[in-house]
Structure 1
Amino acid sequence: MSLWTVLDMLRNDPHSFPQVDVKYDPDSPISPVILHLRPHLDLLFSGKHQRLHTICLKKLQDPHPPATLRYKNMVLSSPQEVLRRVGVSRAFGPTYAGDDLRYPGVWFSFEEDGRADPLRPTSPHPEEKMQEVKRVIISQKSASEESEDVLSEVQVCDAMYGDVESVTVKVHDGIALNFYPSSSPPVHVRIGITTAQDLTCELGTPIRVHYREDNRMNIHSKSKEDDPDVDTGYFYNYFQHGIDFLIGGTTHVVKKIILHTNLPGTPLFQRYKRCPWAIEGLPEDDEDDTPPRKWFYDRFEDIRHFLSPGETPPIMRLDRTDEEDGLTLPNSGTELLGFDGVALEVDESAHVVAVMLF
């Protein structure tokens, strides 16, 4: 599952999950994200694609709320049943020696915080059969016997099929959406050509259709036309892909494409799923099959030099919390920078929050 999907599910059930703590590294756009759901759950999401990597269950006997852990048709832990070493062995069978009981995709720890007692012998004594399990860690089954890096990306699985794997951005043209599995044909959306009907056929019905009413940016336009004559259009919001499409109100053709990076700590966090975009440059020659690209996790300075090696465009300031009463964020201010055919929204840490093609 993606971070966006899990948070959306938790937000729709505030009674069961009244408090969710989100932890991340504000200096890295590909920082792993940890969700703390007190008291039982810690969820670790991968850095680049924000996919659920590891689940940690703890405080199994905490009654607020009570937790029941099952494996197949067997109850392992409940308010009436304490999970112990002998219970794990009976349910899962033998495994390799160690401080913890490790099986493919799951392991059981007898330490509260994961730090084993260095003085405790590695082989359990008879009385240690009654050791209480303090933590259960669940992850994907690794294809190899080597332990998987907790900071790595998750392996492609059936649950991802139909989700966006990557988006290739071509300035002055449009985007190519690549879906899981990788054998799926890409979907091309071209500015000035693709229609609203094309989007519905290729991507399905948008989660929301938003009619554009905010024309405050028109004050910066060189056009002398009156506002009533401007074709404001409407947006197709595909939150599950992290993409917005502005469609002309009279032509019903795509006019603008907005791709969202879903950076934690920014005002737009969790409104959109992360869109793993890459801006593609011109190939060096006709035989170049791998033209240069800049990805969503690259620093703004690198992307700026990639788009415009000569000079830095004028900068406009934006604070998305101005219209949100009571919302305070440490990283609420962003800058808008326009280039030829593309604009970037950049946060205070020099990471790109969104890409706008027009």
Structure 2
Amino acid sequence: MSLFTAQVREGQALGFLVLGASLHDILTRLKAEPQRFPKLDIVYETSTPVTEPIVLNLPVNGIRLRFDGPEQRLRLVEVVDFTKNRITYMDKDVFRPTATPTVGSAPTESPSGPMFKHIYKNLMGPAFPGEYIEPEPEDATGMGIYIMSYPGIAFSFPLHSSAYSTGKDVVALLSSSAGCSATSMAIFNGESWPEARKDLYTQTLAPVKASFAKSKEPVPEEVSLVKIYGQGKLEFVRPHSNSAFWLQLGESTPQELVAELGPPDAIYRKNDQRMSIHKNRSASGTNPRPDMNDFRQDDSTDTDQSSSHTATDDSEDEDDDGEVAGNVAGECFYNYFYHGFDILLATPTDPSQCPPSKSGSTPASFDPTADASSKLVAAKLLIHGNVPGSYPFNRHRRCRWEIEYLNHPGQDSIDSETPFSEVESHLHEEWKSIWKNSGEAKSRQRGMVLNRDWGISPGSSCELLGGWEESAGGKRTGGIDSMKGLGNTTLFGFPGLVFEVLQNGTVSGLTVF
């Protein structure tokens, strides 16, 4: 195994581990080098995986990475074992293991990290007084931690509680022969560690477009949020752009998608029709009220086929003669792995109905008499949650969303982090007027179970949902490829929306049509 070698950029990065990069981007890079990073361990809160921080451990490399839950942005880089890597700062070694003692010399204990004097004198220079963290009451060793902090970087040194007192010359103490070597190093965004940790997981970080993405050409700015207004109207919000991109399902063209979002990372041809048994089962022309089955159309549920490719895969149909992004023939998905969503291109259809609370708004336009036989438009949007522990984890970057027509002043937003039970309650209240009574509403909104764990077979859900059994990086003991899925998921449909919900109540994916 080759040693992990990286340059420290205080407040910014450790090599390619850049603060603000997405969990998907980092994992994609790490999985591309299995010999260098043979083990990847993810730690997350199973009950609330999209609100609590996510920790990615690289035990063989002595590195620990911390991401926030909602955006999955890298917030903190920690070196927890200096002997398993080679870290440099301004082209100087942060730590170099002591040479093996010669025969006959007295054995000495080699330091396992950089000494205080080396950091103070050779690397960083003087620092403001640090912070001392007292040992836990049950800790018999009495060893606390002294944190020497600089802007964007900090080092931790073991220090006995009996040796520390306020006002004592800690610099002289730690630089003496009695001083211990640093046990860890942290890279963060902030002036000092005590200040940075107050809002470590909530501060605004500029999104980082990974340099290891499939496309080497400049790409449009990453979409940070999708706002859903109903009737197929969507707003794509970019964090550092004054103008949002508006997408109207049933109207927006492939050329508009490419112009605003860049070329897709892959193109997947839609060819599985086994969910069509659920189409057109409502009474035709006799009941204007929507049926749950209307929301479970084949291309609302089998669209996860679009996720069967990794960021480096090419669709088998992507190289058809004369076909380029923005000029496609036949229904297909535009896969935007690094944006966090897929878009189905199909012939124009009627938009979903207007939310009752917005009944006074201008309806979406659609001319059923227009010749659309050869015209493809954006028909559906699949937003991926990239939930740790879910079956499609790390196929896409996490993309956040808000149901704008449910958001009211003084109330919390209904968004991608809201438990589905709460989302469902608000949607029931919004759409209750379209059902005759609560019994009909309950009947229409019963869930449809999807099995994510069946193996390869001609009739399995895995094949229907895009071949999740195909592993992009191979099995690794303890790594993310050996993570078990959370079992069956359930589909719940409302007008214009289909939710895929995990057993813990977290929304794993949302289809808008």
Fold equivalence (TM over 0.5): yes
Asked whether the 8 Å contact 1:85–1:130 carries over to 2, the reply is yes
Asked whether the 8 Å contact 1:280–1:291 carries over to 2, the reply is no
CA RMSD of superposed structures (Å): 2.8
Query: Shift of the alpha carbon at 1:22?
Result: 0.5
Q: Which residue of 2 aligns with 1:135?
A: 184
| TM-score relative to the length of structure 1 | 0.86
Alignment gaps of 5+ in structure 1: none
Query: Shift of the alpha carbon at 1:195?
Result: 0.9
Q: Which residue of 2 aligns with 1:175?
A: 234
Q: Which residue of 2 aligns with 1:88?
A: 119
Return the alpha-carbon distance in structure 1 between the equivalents of residues 483 and 69 of structure 2: 25
SS in structure 2 of the partner of residue 61 of structure 1: helix
Q: Superposition pairs for residues 77-156 of structure 1, below 5 Å?
A: 77-79=95-97, 83-90=114-121, 91-98=123-130, 99-111=146-158, 117-122=160-165, 123=170, 124-125=172-173, 127-128=176-177, 130-142=179-191, 146-149=195-198, 152-156=201-205
1:148-170 deviations in Å (ceiling 9; x for gaps): 33652243337369222211012
SS in structure 2 of the partner of residue 278 of structure 1: strand
Letter of the structure 1 residue corresponding to residue 391 of structure 2:
P
Return the alpha-carbon distance in structure 1 between the equivalents of residues 207 and 345 of structure 2: 33
1:298-342 deviations in Å (ceiling 9; x for gaps): 011111122222434021000223235597725121100111111
Q: Which residue of 2 aligns with 1:258?
A: 382
1:194-252 deviations in Å (ceiling 9; x for gaps): 0111101110100010001121110111179xx9xxx9710001111111100016421
Q: Which residue of 1 aligns with 2:80?
A: 58
Q: Which residue of 2 aligns with 1:7?
A: 27
- 1:336 aligns to 2:385 (yes or no): no
Query: Shift of the alpha carbon at 1:80?
Result: 5.1
Q: Which residue of 1 aligns with 2:243?
A: 185
Asked whether the 8 Å contact 1:2–1:51 carries over to 2, the reply is yes
Return the alpha-carbon distance in structure 2 between the equivalents of residues 318 and 154 of structure 1: 37
Letter of the structure 1 residue corresponding to residue 487 of structure 2:
S
1:79–1:252 Cα change, 3 Å: farther
Greater alpha carbon shift after TM alignment, 74-83 vs 299-308: 74-83
1:292–1:281 Cα change, 3 Å: farther
Letter of the structure 1 residue corresponding to residue 94 of structure 2:
L
Greater alpha carbon shift after TM alignment, 313-322 vs 118-127: 118-127
Equivalent position to 2:500, from 338, 345, 348: 345
Asked whether the 8 Å contact 1:281–1:293 carries over to 2, the reply is no
- Percentage of identical aligned residues: 25
Q: Which residue of 2 aligns with 1:164?
A: 223
SS in structure 1 of the partner of residue 396 of structure 2: coil
1:233-283 deviations in Å (ceiling 9; x for gaps): 100011111111000164210111111111100001111111111111168
SS in structure 2 of the partner of residue 199 of structure 1: helix
Task: Identify which of structures 1 and 2 has the higher relative contact order when contacts are C-alpha pairs closer than 8 Å and 6+ apart.
Answer: 2
- 1:16 aligns to 2:36 (yes or no): yes
SS in structure 2 of the partner of residue 110 of structure 1: strand
Return the alpha-carbon distance in structure 1 between the equivalents of residues 407 and 117 of structure 2: 62
Letter of the structure 2 residue corresponding to residue 176 of structure 1:
E
Equivalent position to 1:206, from 237, 240, 264: 264
Q: Which residue of 2 aligns with 1:46?
A: 68
Return the alpha-carbon distance in structure 2 between the equivalents of residues 187 and 336 of structure 1: 28
Return the alpha-carbon distance in structure 1 between the equivalents of residues 119 and 95 of structure 2: 10
Return the alpha-carbon distance in structure 2 between the equivalents of residues 318 and 351 of structure 1: 15
1:315–1:108 Cα change, 3 Å: same
Query: Shift of the alpha carbon at 1:147?
Result: 3.9
Return the alpha-carbon distance in structure 2 between the equivalents of residues 264 and 189 of structure 1: 29
Asked whether the 8 Å contact 1:265–1:329 carries over to 2, the reply is yes
Return the alpha-carbon distance in structure 1 between the equivalents of residues 177 and 98 of structure 2: 20
Return the alpha-carbon distance in structure 1 between the equivalents of residues 484 and 497 of structure 2: 27
1:119–1:282 Cα change, 3 Å: closer
Task: Give the structure with the larger strand fraction.
Answer: 1
Asked whether the 8 Å contact 1:187–1:202 carries over to 2, the reply is yes
Return the alpha-carbon distance in structure 1 between the equivalents of residues 276 and 207 of structure 2: 45
Asked whether the 8 Å contact 1:42–1:56 carries over to 2, the reply is yes
Task: Give the structure with the larger helix fraction.
Answer: 2
Query: Shift of the alpha carbon at 1:34?
Result: 0.5
Aligned length, in residue pairs:
340
Return the alpha-carbon distance in structure 1 between the equivalents of residues 75 and 98 of structure 2: 30
1:75–1:328 Cα change, 3 Å: closer
Asked whether the 8 Å contact 2:499–2:509 carries over to 1, the reply is yes
Equivalent position to 2:453, from 304, 321, 326: 321
Alignment gaps of 5+ in structure 2: 1-20, 100-112, 131-145, 210-219, 283-297, 299-328, 348-373, 433-440, 455-461, 463-467, 470-474, 476-481
Asked whether the 8 Å contact 1:53–1:150 carries over to 2, the reply is no
